[in-house]
Structure 1
Amino acid sequence: MIWFLIGTAVLFIWLGDLTEAAVLGAALIPIAGMDAYLHRRTQASTEGLRARLASQARVLRDGREKDVPSEELVPGDLVIVPAGAYFPADGLIQSGEALQADESTLTGEALPVRKAPLEPRPVGTGSVTVEGEHWGMAGTRLLTGEARVVIALTGPETLYGEIARLSRATQVDRTPLQEAIARLVQILLVVALVLCAILAGIRYAQGYGAVDALLSAVTLAIAALPEEYPVVFSFFLGLGVYRLARKQALVRRAVVVENIGRISCICTDKTGTLTEGQLTLHKALPVEGVSDDELLTIAATASRAETADPLDLILLESARPRNGKVEAVFPFAEDRLREVAVLRSPEGSCSAAMKGAPETVIEITTLSEEERRLWRQRTQELAASGHKVIGVAIRSFHDWSGEEPETGFDFAGLLAFSDPVRPSVADAVREAQDAGIRVIMITGDHAHTAAAIAKETGIGTLDPRVIDGKDLAAHIDHQEAEIDFDVVARCTPSQKLDLVQALRAKGEMVAVTGDGVNDAPALRGADVGIAMGERGTRSAREVASIVLLDDNFATIVGAIAEGRQLFTNLRLSFAYLLMLHAPLVATAALIPLMGYPLLYLPIHIIWIELILHPTALLVFQNLPSQNALSRLSKGSRPSFFAPREWVTISIVGALASTVILGGNILNLGETADVPHARSMAMASLIITGSAITAALTGFRSRSAWIATAVPVLSAFAAIQIEPVARVLHLSPLHLMDWAIAMFGGVIISAGAAFMTQRQDLGKPHARLHRSGQSPS
């Protein structure tokens, strides 16, 4: 499009029309600048991925610890990773106690993940599968403990490296409208140039001379060259960027404004998108005789701020530990699944506060077997509803032996933690699904947790259909299989991308939301990638085409509605241009080809252009919404205009051409008065344009009224005021001439109105288009 604008501007300079060349040149500057800027920012996605990697690593070589750049690590190196540091590569955890890692950037799971050293395997065991709890992965952060890791994979071989490769390898397709406009402009350009050459040759052969032949060709070129279409398209895209920004959606690739309005499926991340993205205390279930505050106080006593464990920090914010001196702390470990703090009170008595896995805590309390069964059942119910559950217990004694107490604890109750759903998400999901937009949750969480969140937000049915990530590939491989699930649990980055590509292959226009590094490949591979601006990683923002400034899922629905309305208005604008351009070009070519004097002079074409451009650019963009988020119906392959709409556009253009040609030829035949015949043609053309404007806009804005009335008034003044008409090579018309022109306008407006009412041109297009398929 940029090269076409450059070529057209040069052509107008060669023709001597510096005004048109200046307009195109001015439009070219922001378009080229935006293209260069966005290209540079897209390339910065790799830098964003690199920002979360450890630049230095402490490695044990030759019996000594030394700091080396992370890129110098090799498989077999023994790396020391302290609490709060990022793993520099993928490796097996050799040693460490009470290890927890934040893997949310890779898995999307908000809760800390427990890690444990890998037990030595006997020689000759053969191939062994190593569980994820024994792996430290590049790009993830160790929260608690100090780990020693034997490096196994580095650079592009790590999971983080695979994400980077997928993000860079995914190509961004041209949008359907880009393809359609490029094809339309190419066709119109070729037709215009061929017509200009034919007209010049025939006029010269008819004996009108070289100057007349050149003037005929230049006039037709000014009328026929389709420079309005790329300019209008660019203007509407810029307008969409501005309007979406006002709705808290920052557009990074302007062409996505087209796609956002035709989204048929949203693949949304859970953590940080549907949920708040942070662990919170959801519920306290104390035993009888223990208050909520007392339960929290016991749990806070068994917590330590220095561990940086999010759960400990939440408990310490919720309650103050018991007064006294901490005699000893027995930290959480994989083999114990509990943490115990021994406290000596100012009076000298001792107590032990414990928190940990409910099944472990319950077993070492004084509860009866029936009470234990009841509390285990409550634990399972909470876990099934997507909560992280811990048990809390307390024991008092007078003399402490120095050993960890392992019996005699009084059970205090359960604490349930959750990543809460954003308040507006359920309404936004319902609105999207009511409009025919599928919502699929993609998460790294367990299936039970994912199903609970899906049910709470209203995704899918009352009983959301869940598929595990490991089963996704087999499901996708069956080409005939429908993608009929609502949730994908335990999903990896490559599986997310596979799902997006499968949905697109089935004709869906896919938007992907996310905030983590793990979302980057799918964000880039989707028709519309939507990153979270507040909590999103830099990598997600860089590869996404839209960034939500408020991280609100509801903003997506508003952006889709805005995009649909803008797309509808753009189609109306293009229909207007086609309906009016057709008679303009047809009459400018046919009248001279039939041997009559030139119908339009350059000044008349510029007059028409001064009506065309403001109307196409300003009037249609300002049309108010008409239920823009109405339900989309599924159907055959979409196009910018449906076949019947093209037929209607052709009929309106042909009808307008007939009215203009007929009026001009009849006046030439009766009086051979060229200025009078030309006035009749200009009046008919301008009234036709106003009639089309009125029909397509439905007078739904003040600018529509102005664009309908002002051209007709200007035509009446220019034609009927004789000094002005003489300068314009026109002459005043009779009342009957104006009546005939107005009657023709009424008929044409009826045809255009039939199109908007019967062919749904004024509504969001019902059929969804796939990139790479031929649009009409």
Structure 2
Amino acid sequence: MHAKIPSGRLEGLLGTDAGLTEADAAGRRARHGRNDIVEAAPPTWWMLARDTLRDPMLWFLLGTACLFAWLGDRVEAIILLAAVVPLVGMDLYLHRRTQASTQGLASRLASSARVLRDGAWTSLPAGELVPGDLVEIVAGEAIPADALVHSGEHLQVDESMLSGESLPVSKRSYEAGAQAEDPSHWVAAGTRLLTGTARIRIAYTGAQTLYGEIVRLTVQGTQARTPLQQAITRLVSKLLVAALVLCVLLAAIRLYQGHGVVDALLSAVTLAVAALPEEFPVVFTFFLGAGVYRLARRQALVRRAVAVENIGRVTCVCSDKTGTMTEGRLALVHRQPAAGMDGEALARLSALACRADSGDPLDIAILALAAPGAEGATDQTADPVHVYPFTEGRRRETALHVDDAGGVLAVTKGAPETVLDLCAMPESERASWRAEVAGHADVGHKVIAIASRALEAFDAGADEPGDGFTFGGLLVFADPLRPGVREAVRACAQAGIRVIMVTGDHPGTARAIAREAGLGDGDPRVSTMDELGQADDALAAVDVVARAVPAQKLELVQRLQRRGEIVAVTGDGVNDAPALQAADIGIAMGGSGSQSSREVASIVLLDDNFRTIVGAIAEGRQLFRNLQSSFAYLLMVHLPLVLTAALVPLAGQPLLYLPIHIVWVELLIHPTALLVFQDPPPPGRMAPADRGGRASFFGRRAWAAIVLTGLAVTAAMLLVYRSGMAAGDATHARTLTMATLVLASVTITAVLSRLASRTAWVVALGSLASLVLLVQVPALADWVHLRPLGLRDWMLVSAAGIATGCVALLFTARAGRGRRRNQSVPRSV
């Protein structure tokens, strides 16, 4: 939550019931802007037109359609123009998919609010709110902006969207002089009021809200160019130059062979479009956006796109303890009743020393223990008649209860050394209890003591009861490990990721939590930075760094990086900013983290949970595997397409592909590359890390598999083309070749994706359906300059397609066997 009240915005309004006038609201809106937390997306038609105009395929279709219209072939021109429709439809579909994350964020926000304007309560669109507005919220409504609680009782807010915590959070009114950084006074946009009716004073609107900041960071993070994206741009530029040179050469050769200017121009343009590698940056950008969206679904918001690229390469995680590996709350782990008292009786007694409305985490934990239905539940429902509250000087809290007979029971809870001194007991017994307390403290547990005493009468003006208490026992509390952390640590170990817990706690406390989390195979090696010395090799044998200060956290990150580790670091405070910035992946806490830590971090966790970090790494690794599979598919299909488009005309044969055929192939390639290879991480395990370099996609085995598969498909296509030309029929030869290419594309898709998703099946069957329709339906075949095939032709084409699939399977399987030696081989290659 916010740590301060904005100066000037609420001046003269805090503590009053005054609202704003319309004139004042208009002036404030002019200064601070509208309360548009998630900016409305530009019109879909404009974004579609802008993106489509960048597609070279559009200009290819328009240019060749104009060329055929000029030559008088209107049917061909109309078909090419009609191909614009599915092209635009695909762009629209993909555009809507990439907008899903922002639309989901906007759906959590209030659309209207009840606000006091000109002395009257009125309903306004939430976008009209300004700082200083007094707004009334009833149970079930969303909070429209970040605000201070003005009034309300028994208020509870669902903050799960911002913090990831499912439990309601209590809120109370802000009063002059109170600590502004106390989150109990603040409510935030994107949260929802669960109980009570609240009046709130708007402090921050629009992009200045916490929710707006997260949205802004998410949008900005997807715009940064990553090293891999830059490498792809360089590759595409080189391929583009090579394609243009080849096209000019092909046109010159066709002219030299006497085929005419139109034939030379068509052959050059067709080859250019076939060879143009525009899919690579499109696929990469789409996968990057999918990665940002999938990480957001795991409660990890990406601020910089480079994080999506690097998160999967992390080899070491330096994690905070409190609130990240643990829940950041107190929970009872042990009860030690005194002689003559059992655990249930101790729970009942300790509940009498607590106040339900105190908000004290200790009281909440004890009352949860003694709640109706819980073990040791108490039937005590009466509130204490008097309470002597806890102070640092007294180090205890005492509550007085009066029963029906008029008897008074004083129950005190507090620091064990303080409570033990109030109790009448032998010194040896007191020493024994103190030893028990010391043993619990050594492992980082919080211990409180409970004692009681009967009084003769109740006197509100009397001093707090002193000596003469009867010792009841000890309650031992700890910050429990978050659910799933132990399994997440085990998954990291299996995936080759080191986990180092970094904490400022005592080594004994750190060791206990680390052992419970499974660090060091249950026997964690704990050290301080001072004990590790200056030798970087000493870091190889440490699981926990205790007593760490922020400067030492930065030093730890730098030393691990010098050892070749790719380091992810978690942090939540201002002092963590240097370590977060120095890390390969800085991960800030969205719920408890400071604004400065979120600003320098690459990823913001909404739930502050270590398990989310591990899930993000798994997503990053799988995303890289998916991207490799998609690129492998593009290369395996484009290589034979380009080679046959160049070799057949160079040999003096009729043009193999006409523009409409390139359109058909591209309409098959695009959805396959973009949609088929979107596998989620396998449950319970991670893909292996990529260690092939920050901008490396494939190892030598993978490249060999790609090139050999592409050459095998090329050979099959040239063979069936030669078979068709044996009868002197160019159209028949073209049909055989196109059918072989489409079947090869389907078999490669099946090999790489293993048809593991519904999308893979739909795309593969759709490709086959397009082949059958465009070849076997005479009217359609005539439009696309093909000819229906007979049974023997289909047997020949099927044999060629199956053979290329077997070749792809053979080469990719051999590449996969080398994955352990070369981690840059993709999952399916």
The question of a shared fold, defined as TM-score above 0.5 by the shorter chain, is answered with yes
Distance 1:37 1:706, change over 3 A: closer
Distance 1:34 1:321, change over 3 A: closer
Aligned to 1:632: 688
Q: How many residues align?
A: 647
Whether the 8 Å CA contact 2:331–2:478 is kept in 1: the answer is yes
3-state DSSP of counterpart to 2:322 = helix
3-state DSSP of counterpart to 1:391 = strand
State the distance in 2 between where 1:765 and 1:27 align: 40
Residue 661 of structure 1, aligned match among 700, 705, 718: 718
Distance 1:754 1:265, change over 3 A: farther
Aligned to 1:214: 265
Aligned to 1:444: 504
The aligned runs of 1:552-591 (5 Å cut-off) are 553-558=610-615, 560-591=617-648
Aligned to 1:371: 429
Whether the 8 Å CA contact 2:384–2:401 is kept in 1: the answer is yes
Deviation at 1:519, TM superposition (A): 5.6
Residue 446 of structure 2, aligned match among 385, 388, 397: 388
AA aligned opposite 1:371: E
Matched, 1:471 2:527: no
3-state DSSP of counterpart to 2:247 = helix
Deviation at 1:573, TM superposition (A): 2.0
Aligned to 1:71: none
% identity of equivalent residues = 49
Deviation at 1:379, TM superposition (A): 0.8
Residue 55 of structure 2, aligned match among 9, 20, 38: 9
State the distance in 2 between where 1:627 and 1:481 align: 34
Distance 1:481 1:594, change over 3 A: farther
State the distance in 2 between where 1:304 and 1:708 align: 65
Whether the 8 Å CA contact 2:569–2:586 is kept in 1: the answer is yes
Matched, 1:197 2:255: no
Whether the 8 Å CA contact 1:444–1:492 is kept in 2: the answer is yes
Distance 1:253 1:628, change over 3 A: farther
Whether the 8 Å CA contact 2:621–2:688 is kept in 1: the answer is no
Residue 671 of structure 2, aligned match among 614, 633, 636: 614
1:40-64 C-alpha deviation (Å, 9 max, x unpaired) = xxxxxxxxxxxxxxxxxxxxxxxxx
Residue 751 of structure 1, aligned match among 773, 790, 807: 807
Aligned to 2:654: 597
Distance 1:635 1:558, change over 3 A: closer
State the distance in 1 between where 2:262 and 2:581 align: 55
State the distance in 1 between where 2:352 and 2:758 align: 68
Whether the 8 Å CA contact 1:637–1:767 is kept in 2: the answer is no
Matched, 1:454 2:514: yes
Deviation at 1:25, TM superposition (A): 7.0
Q: What is the TM-score with the length of structure 2 in the denominator? A: 0.64
Aligned to 2:744: 688
The aligned runs of 1:213-612 (5 Å cut-off) are 213-241=264-292, 243=294, 256-290=307-341, 310-311=361-362, 332-333=391-392, 355-363=413-421, 365-393=423-451, 410-468=470-528, 470-471=529-530, 478-504=535-561, 506-513=563-570, 526=583, 553-558=610-615, 560-612=617-669
Distance 1:584 1:325, change over 3 A: closer
AA aligned opposite 1:383: A
Deviation at 1:614, TM superposition (A): 2.5
Distance 1:28 1:321, change over 3 A: closer
State the distance in 2 between where 1:710 and 1:34 align: 25
3-state DSSP of counterpart to 1:420 = coil
Further displaced range: 302-311 or 480-489: 302-311
Distance 1:230 1:37, change over 3 A: farther
Deviation at 1:593, TM superposition (A): 3.3
State the distance in 2 between where 1:37 and 1:542 align: 23
State the distance in 2 between where 1:309 and 1:295 align: 19
AA aligned opposite 2:639: A
State the distance in 2 between where 1:685 and 1:392 align: 81
Further displaced range: 200-209 or 300-309: 300-309
AA aligned opposite 1:384: D
Deviation at 1:735, TM superposition (A): 5.8
Distance 1:536 1:305, change over 3 A: same
Q: What are structure 1's unaligned runs of at least 5 residues?
A: 39-84, 86-136, 144-166, 770-775
3-state DSSP of counterpart to 2:425 = coil
Aligned to 2:4: none
State the distance in 2 between where 1:198 and 1:628 align: 54
AA aligned opposite 1:440: I
Whether the 8 Å CA contact 1:330–1:404 is kept in 2: the answer is no
AA aligned opposite 1:757: A
State the distance in 1 between where 2:101 and 2:821 align: 28
Q: What is the TM-score with the length of structure 1 in the denominator? A: 0.67
Distance 1:549 1:141, change over 3 A: closer
Deviation at 1:456, TM superposition (A): 1.6
1:298-352 C-alpha deviation (Å, 9 max, x unpaired) = 76777789987544665678687999875x9596446x65567899999999987
Whether the 8 Å CA contact 1:386–1:452 is kept in 2: the answer is yes
Q: What are structure 2's unaligned runs of at least 5 residues?
A: 1-47, 64-80, 105-147, 149-178, 186-216, 371-377
1:349-370 C-alpha deviation (Å, 9 max, x unpaired) = 9987654433454456443343
Aligned to 1:674: 730
State the distance in 2 between where 1:429 and 1:453 align: 12
Distance 1:415 1:239, change over 3 A: same
State the distance in 1 between where 2:561 and 2:547 align: 22
AA aligned opposite 2:521: T
3-state DSSP of counterpart to 1:273 = coil
3-state DSSP of counterpart to 1:421 = coil
Deviation at 1:384, TM superposition (A): 2.4
Whether the 8 Å CA contact 1:284–1:416 is kept in 2: the answer is yes
AA aligned opposite 1:571: Q
State the distance in 2 between where 1:383 and 1:181 align: 56
1:629-667 C-alpha deviation (Å, 9 max, x unpaired) = 257379665842221111110111122223333443565
Deviation at 1:492, TM superposition (A): 3.6
Deviation at 1:698, TM superposition (A): 3.2
Deviation at 1:753, TM superposition (A): 0.5
State the distance in 2 between where 1:248 and 1:632 align: 23
Whether the 8 Å CA contact 2:388–2:397 is kept in 1: the answer is yes
CA RMSD for the aligned pairs?
Answer: 5.2
3-state DSSP of counterpart to 2:513 = helix
Distance 1:714 1:350, change over 3 A: closer
Where relative contact order (Cα < 8 A, 6+ residues apart) is larger, the structure is 1
Deviation at 1:382, TM superposition (A): 1.2
Deviation at 1:193, TM superposition (A): 2.6
State the distance in 1 between where 2:820 and 2:227 align: 15
